[in-house]
Amino acid sequence: MISKSDIHVFVPAYNEESAIGDVLEALRRSGYGHLHVIDDGSTDRTVVRVRAAGATLVQHLINRGVGAATQTGIEWARKASCPYMILMDADGQHLPEDIELLMQRMSKGDCDIVIGSRFLGDLSAMPRSRRGLNRLANGLTNLFCKYNYSDTQSGFRMLNRKAIETLQLSLDEYGFCSEMIILAERLDLKIVEVPTQVVYTAYSLGKGQDFFTGIRTAFKLLWKVVSLVGRN
């Protein structure tokens, strides 16, 4: 059985001074001691909050995008020989207690990536506009996948050592969620989903993708997939 001491939590963050301290405190209260924040060139007091919370800080000198921050986290975990890593958002929408659901599923030993799916859980907290954008992204991503996934855009994920060692993301922005799934299948990594909760606040709703960002991300993802197919 995987224990909490095996878990390294990585939180990509950009200008999250209002939320990051509470997110890290909640994780510590839940028993997770290995906390890492990838600061993506924040211009506010995010770095101050992270240092005050005692988490490991990895910094980008400029804002590169959440995909780039995620890849930096994977590279850090690879070099540090972390057995498992959790990826979660910095705005407080993911609940630390749900990490145990990912751990329990990973403990079965038949998968390499576990995704916390909002669409397998209670969707009442998700605004309809977000549901529509996510369903559009799900449909687009699943076109290029062998299997069908309910929440391809969830940033709440657990990776085992095999996934940490093999994944190499190249999309710097939001398309990384889809890219990770598509690449994982091509690398014969097994992906499963578990239902998780999601908390939306006025603050968290102000983050993430709007409609036009979602469309731009979709086109970038299409171009990336075409490039991947063309090389193989």
**pLDDT score, position 5:** 97
Domain locations in the chain as residue ranges:
4-230
Distance CA(115)–CA(129), nearest Å, equals 22
For 87-112, write each residue's pLDDT tens digit.
999 999 999 999 999 999 999 999 99
Would you say residue 57 has pLDDT above 50? Answer: yes
Q: What is the pLDDT of residue 206?
A: 64
27 vs 4: CA distance, rounded Å? 11
Q: Which helix (H) or strand (E) holds 209?
A: none
Largest CA distance in the chain: 47
Structure confidence at residue 69 as a pLDDT band (50, 70, 90): very high
Q: Which helix (H) or strand (E) holds 24?
A: helix 20-29
User: Is residue 41 a contact partner of residue 13, using CB atoms and an 8 Å limit?
Assistant: no
Q: What is the mean pLDDT of residues 131-153?
A: 89
Domain 4-230 bears CATH identifier 3.90.550.10: yes
Does residue 232 register a pLDDT over 50?
Answer: no
